[in-house]
C-alpha cells in the first residue's frame, strides 16, 4: 500500500484512542509490528489558543515512526492552521482528521462523527487542511450517523474529491457507539468506490479478525484499536498470519515484563504520580486472564509508588508460574 510517498508492506496501523495511544503505548506497538500509529486526537481549537498540554500529545520520535497526528474540530480555517502548525513543528508523516468520534462532548460541538451529517462542511475542512500541508491527509469516518443514514460511501467519495489521501472506515454508526458487531459490507462498499487507500477498523482482536476483514472487504489495511489493549503483540500476530508464519503467544513472564516496561515509560514521560494512575488501566489489560488478576487490579489501584506496583506484578508472576 502506498499513500503519496509512504509505503507499507502490510497496512497494519494502530488506531487513535483518547487516553490510550500516548507515546508509551505507541512505542510498544511499533516494536511489535505496527507500521504506523496515530496519536490521541488533538483539539484544533486548543492548538489555536496555544494549549501546551495538547501539543504534548503530538510528540513522537524514531521509536514511534511513522506517525500520524489526528486533529478534530469543525472550523476549516482553524483546522488548517492547526495542521500547518503541527507539520512545521513535528513533521508528522501524516495528518488525520477525526470525523468518526461518537462521544457526546465531541459531537455536541458539531465535531467528530457529527460532521458526517454535514458533508458540505466536512468537504470544506478537508479542502482547507489539504491545501495547508504537504504531508498526506487521511480522514477517519464511521458507517454513518445512524441505521437510517449509512452514508459512508457517498461521504468518503466527497472526502476523496476534496483531497483526502486515505480513508479509514469504522464499521459502525455513531448511534451504535462500540456495539454491536461491525458492518463489513459498508467497508467493502467504500473500498470498491474509492481510488485512494481504504483501511478497515473495528472488532479486530485477533489475527483471524484482521485477515477476515482484509479478505472480505478488499481493504488495503487494518487499523487496530481495542484489540491492542494490553496486547501490543497483536501486530506481530497479524504480521505472522499475513506472512504465513507461526505465531507464539507471549508467556505470562513476557506479559509481565512488558507491563513493567510500560509502567516505567509512563512514569519517565509523565512523572510517578500521573504515570502510575495512567498505567492502571493498561496493567489491568495486561493481567486479564491471569490467576489472581482481580485482586491485583484492586491492589494496583490503591498503590502510590512504582515499587508497590512492581511488587504486585512480581507477585502475580510468581502465582501464575506455580500453575
DSSP line for 174-234 = TTTTT-S---HHHHHHHHHH-SS-EEEES---SHHHHHHHHHHH--SEEEE-GGGTT-TTH
Q: Which three cell numbers stand for residue 6?
A: 509512504
For the chain, list residues with pLDDT below 50: none
Per-residue model confidence (pLDDT) at position 179: 86
For the record, the C-alpha cell of 154 comes out as 457517498
3-state secondary structure of 14: strand
Contacts of 83-89 spanning 24+ positions with Cβ under 8 A? 83/44, 83/129, 83/132, 83/133, 83/137, 84/132, 84/133, 85/47, 86/42, 86/47, 86/58, 87/133, 87/134, 87/135, 89/55, 89/58
Classify residue 147 by its DSSP letter. Answer: T
Beta-carbon count within 10 A of 195 CB: 7
Say whether the peptide bond before residue 178 is cis (omega within 30 degrees of 0): no
Alpha-carbon gap, residue 53 to 150, rounded angstroms: 35
- Rounded Cα distance between 280 and 172, Å, is 29
Of the CATH numbers 3.60.15.10, 3.40.50.2000, 2.40.30.110, 3.20.20.70, which one belongs to the domain with range 2-243? 3.20.20.70
Instruction: Identify the residue whose cell numbers are 451529517.
Output: 117
Helices marked H in the chain: 23-31, 44-48, 52-56, 76-90, 104-107, 119-132, 152-162, 184-193, 207-217, 234-243, 252-270, 272-287, 293-301, 306-321
pLDDT number for residue 4: 87
* DSSP character at residue 145: S
Is residue 219 among the annotated active site residues?
no
Q: What is the pLDDT of residue 323?
A: 62
- How confident is the model at residue 53, as a pLDDT? 84
Q: Give the residue from 194, 202, 100, 179 showing the smallest Cα distance to 145.
A: 100
Residue 34 in contact with residue 46, Cβ under 8 Å? no
Q: What's the DSSP call for residue 250?
A: P
| Residue boundaries of the structural domains of the chain | 2-243, 252-321
Q: What's the pLDDT at 308?
A: 96
Residues 6+ apart with CB under 8 A from 96: 16, 38, 68, 69, 70, 71, 137, 138, 139, 140, 168
- Fold: same for 2-243 and 252-321: no
Q: Are 183 and 216 in contact (CB under 8 A)?
A: no
Q: Which residues of 124-134 are buried (b: 16+ CB within 10 A; e: fewer)?
A: bbbbbbbebbe
Q: What is the CATH number of domain 252-321?
A: 1.10.1200.80
Answer whether 296's CB lies under 8 Å from 315's CB: yes
Residue of 29, 101, 219, 240 with catalytic role: 101
Q: Any idea which residue has 497483536 for its cell?
A: 234
Amino acid at each position: 500500500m502506498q499513500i503519496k510517498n509512504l509505503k507499507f508492506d502490510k497496512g497494519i496501523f494502530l488506531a487513535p484512542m483518547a487516553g490510550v495511544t500516548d507515546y508509551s503505548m505507541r512505542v510498544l506497538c511499533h516494536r511489535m509490528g505496527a507500521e504506523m500509529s496515530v496519536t490521541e486526537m488533538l483539539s484544533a481549537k486548543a492548538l489555536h489558543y496555544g494549549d501546551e498540554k495538547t501539543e504534548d500529545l503530538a510528540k513522537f520520535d524514531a521509536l514511534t515512526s511513522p506517525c500520524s497526528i489526528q486533529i478534530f474540530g469543525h472550523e476549516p480555517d482553524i483546522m488548517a492552521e492547526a495542521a500547518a502548525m503541527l507539520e512545521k513543528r513535528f513533521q508528522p508523516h501524516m495528518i488525520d482528521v477525526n470525523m468518526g468520534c461518537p462521544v457526546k462532548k465531541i459531537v455536541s460541538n458539531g465535531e467528530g462523527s457529527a460532521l458526517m451529517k454535514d458533508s458540505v462542511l466536512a468537504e470544506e475542512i478537508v479542502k482547507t487542511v489539504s491545501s495547508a500541508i504537504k504531508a498526506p491527509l487521511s480522514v477517519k469516518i464511521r458507517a454513518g450517523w445512524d441505521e437510517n443514514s449509512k452514508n459512508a460511501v457517498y461521504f468518503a467519495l466527497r472526502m476523496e474529491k476534496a483531497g483526502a489521501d486515505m480513508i479509514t472506515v469504522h464499521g459502525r454508526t455513531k448511534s451504535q457507539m462500540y456495539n454491536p458487531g461491525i458492518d463489513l459490507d459498508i467497508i467493502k462498499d467504500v473500498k470498491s468506490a474509492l481510488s485512494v487507500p481504504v483501511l478497515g477498523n473495528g472488532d479486530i482482536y485477533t489475527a483471524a479478525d484482521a485477515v477476515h476483514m482484509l479478505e472480505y472487504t478488499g481493504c488495503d489495511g487494518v487499523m487496530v484499536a481495542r484489540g491492542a489493549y494490553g496486547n501490543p503483540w497483536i501486530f506481530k500476530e497479524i504480521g505472522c498470519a499475513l506472512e504465513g508464519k507461526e505465531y507464539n503467544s507471549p508467556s505470562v513472564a513476557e506479559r509481565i515484563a512488558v507491563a513493567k516496561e510500560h509502567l516505567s515509560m509512563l512514569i519517565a514521560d509523565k512523572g510517578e504520580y500521573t504515570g502510575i494512575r495512567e498505567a492502571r488501566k493498561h496493567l489491568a489489560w495486561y493481567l486479564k486472564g491471569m490467576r489472581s488478576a482481580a485482586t491485583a487490579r484492586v491492589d494496583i489501584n490503591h498503590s502510590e509508588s512504582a515499587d508497590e506496583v512492581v511488587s504486585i506484578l512480581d507477585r502475580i508472576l510468581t502465582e501464575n508460574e506455580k500453575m
